[in-house]
């Protein structure tokens, strides 16, 4: 089954980039300078931010459905004007290199009906299995270790 992995749009985050660290702290957002090649996966570009770049660490509501599965978690967003990544039938770099990705399947009402953990490099078969279910509307990928939201996956 064909699938698409999509990052978040940059527009909602752009006003934050001009804020001072103090103003960000008032919003419980932290600006960090990337100091390692892995560990700062941007949810817009779906790539790990390069060493030396700045990212914002903030809480983001990735599952807004009014169900018991409504959820928020920490995410990184690279500062700058980056296009939203959209990969068809391919796993983006920030997911592919991770040893464990948790996939969570949701109905159109936002109820979780299945979950599976797989290595990032082996996600396509798990995605195919989950999207083959008629009750599944979309998937969320999470970094299994920290539990952070990574990306949305839909049928292409």
149 pLDDT more than 90? yes
Residue-wise pLDDT tens digits, 72-90: 999 999 999 999 999 999 9
Segments making up each domain of the chain, as ranges: 3-155
pLDDT band at 7 (very low <50, low <70, confident <90, very high): very high
The confidence score (pLDDT) of residue 92 equals 98
Can you list the positions of beta strands (E) in the chain?
3-6, 30-33, 54-63, 71-78, 86-88, 101-106, 112-118, 138-143, 149-155
Q: Could you tell me the pTM of the whole model? A: 0.95
| Better-predicted residue by pLDDT, 150 or 1 | 150
CA dihedral 92, 39, 80, 95 (to 10 degrees): 10
Please count the other Cβ atoms lying within 10 Å of the Cβ belonging to residue 9. 11
As a whole number, mean pLDDT of residues 131-154 equals 96
Q: CB-side exposure of 60: number of CA atoms within 13 Å?
A: 22
pLDDT band at 1 (very low <50, low <70, confident <90, very high): confident
The overall average pLDDT reported for the chain is: 97
Residue-wise pLDDT tens digits, 29-39: 999 999 999 99
116 pLDDT more than 90? yes
63 pLDDT more than 90? yes
**SS3 category, 10:** coil
As a whole number, mean pLDDT of residues 55-67 equals 96
């Amino acid at each position: 089954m064909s699938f698409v992995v999509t990052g978040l749009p940059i527009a909602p985050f752009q006003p934050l980039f001009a804020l001072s660290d103090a103003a960000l702290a008032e919003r419980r957002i932290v600006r960090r300078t990337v100091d390692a090649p892995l560990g700062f996966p941007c949810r817009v570009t779906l790539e790990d931010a390069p060493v030396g770049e700045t990212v914002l660490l903030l809480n983001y509501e990735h599952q807004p459905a009014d169900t018991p599965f409504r959820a928020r978690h920490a995410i990184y967003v690279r500062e700058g004007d980056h296009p939203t990544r959209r990969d068809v039938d391919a796993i983006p770099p920030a997911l592919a290199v991770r040893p464990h990705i948790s996939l969570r399947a949701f109905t159109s009402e936002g109820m979780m009906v299945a979950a599976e953990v797989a290595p990032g490099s082996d996600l396509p078969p798990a995605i195919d299995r989950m999207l083959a279910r008629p009750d599944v509307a979309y998937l969320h990928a999470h970094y299994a270790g920290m539990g952070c939201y990574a990306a949305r996956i839909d049928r292409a």
